[in-house]
Amino acid sequence: MISRAYRHDLNGSRLAPGRTVLECSGVHLGFGGVQALDDVSLTVTQGRIHAVIGPNGAGKSSLLNCVSGLYRPQRGRITLHTDRGAHQLAGTPPHRIARLGVARSFQNIELFSHLTVLENLMLGRHIHMSNRLLPAMLWFGPARRAEIAHRELVEEVIDLLRIQEVRHKPVGSLAYGVQKRTELGRALCMQPGLLLLDEPMAGMNAEEKEDMARFVLDVHELAGVTVVLIEHDMDVVMDISHRVTVLDFGRVIADGSPDEVRSEPAVIGAYLGTEAVAE
C-alpha cells in the first residue's frame, strides 16, 4: 500500500483535479524529410489516465520523447504546470524535467540488467538524494537516515507491484513481464506528478497484460499519479483511460472520451484503411 508520505511528496502534484498538467501546442518535430510530429496539440488534466494511440509510426513515442526532453521539437510549446508554476519543457534537459516531477518508462526495457531489482529501484531515488560526498561515503547521521527513508519508500513500491520475491535477484535473470514491472517501479520511485508510460504491455501475454493494467490503475488511484499512456491494446485503452488522443502520420486526428474516439470514422480509417470504412 502506498503511504500518505508518498502521496504528499509527489513532485508538483498538488494541483486540483481537472487542472491542466501538461499542454502541448503546435508541436513540430522532423528528421530530415520525415515529419514525425505535425502541429500536435493536446491537454492532459490532473488525476486522469490520458492515452495516446495510433498505428505504428504515428509519432506517439516521439511525442513522449519531446515531453521528457530526449527530443527537441523545431516548433511549438510544451508546458508543464505544477504547484510551483508553469515550466516550458521544449529544450529543457531531461534531468531538469525529471526534477520537475516527470518520469517515464520506455518501449524497450532500459534497466541495468546486472543490478538487482532493489538496486534498480533505488536508482529511481537519485533526484531526491543529497550530493554531499563525505556524509554519503561515511554513511553516518543524516546520510544514514536519508538512506533508510529512501529504502522504505522503495519497499512500498515493491509491495504495490508485488515483486517482493525477486527484490534481490538480478534484473537480467527475470521474466520479461517482471522486468517491465520493475521499470514501472523505478519510475514510481521518483515520486512523479506526471508518469509517461510507453507501451508498458508490449510483448506480454493476456495474463501479464491484465496484471499490468491493474498496476497502472493502482498507480493512478492509490498513488494519485497523472498518467500519459501509449498502448496498442485497444481493449486495455478503452477500459482504463479517461481521455484518448489519436495520432496518425504525426497529426492529431481525434481527441475525446474512449466512447467518442471508438466511433470516430477517421480513427477507424487509420487502423483499418479507408476502403474498409467505406464498405
pTM: 0.87
In a domain, 212, yes or no: yes
Residue 273 has pLDDT above 70, yes or no: no
Q: Which candidate, 130, 164, 133, places its Cα nearest to that of 145?
A: 130
Give the total residue count for the chain: 279
Residue 105 lies in a domain: yes
Residue in the block written with cell 523505478: 186
Query: How many other C-beta atoms are found inside a 10 Å radius of the C-beta of residue 228?
Result: 24
- CATH (domain of 201): 3.40.50.300
Count CB neighbours of 64 within 10 A.
24
- Stretch 23-31: mean pLDDT, rounded? 96
Alpha carbons within 13 angstroms on the beta-carbon side of residue 198 total 21
DSSP state of 249: T
92: Cβ–Cβ under 8 A, 6 or more apart, which residues? 69
The reply to whether 246 falls in a domain is: yes
Q: Is position 38 within any domain?
A: yes
pLDDT tens-digit readout, 104-159: 998 888 899 999 999 999 988 887 766 555 555 555 556 667 677 788 889 999 99
Range of the domain at 76: 4-112+192-278
136 three-class SS? helix
Q: How many domains does the chain have?
A: 1
The pLDDT of residue 275 is 45
Q: Is residue 205 part of a domain?
A: yes
Quote the mean pLDDT of the chain: 86
Q: Is 150 within the bounds of a domain?
A: no
Query: What do you get for the CA distance between the two ends of the chain, in Å?
Result: 50
In a domain, 72, yes or no: yes
Decide if 178 is inside a domain. no
CA distance 218 to 223: 7
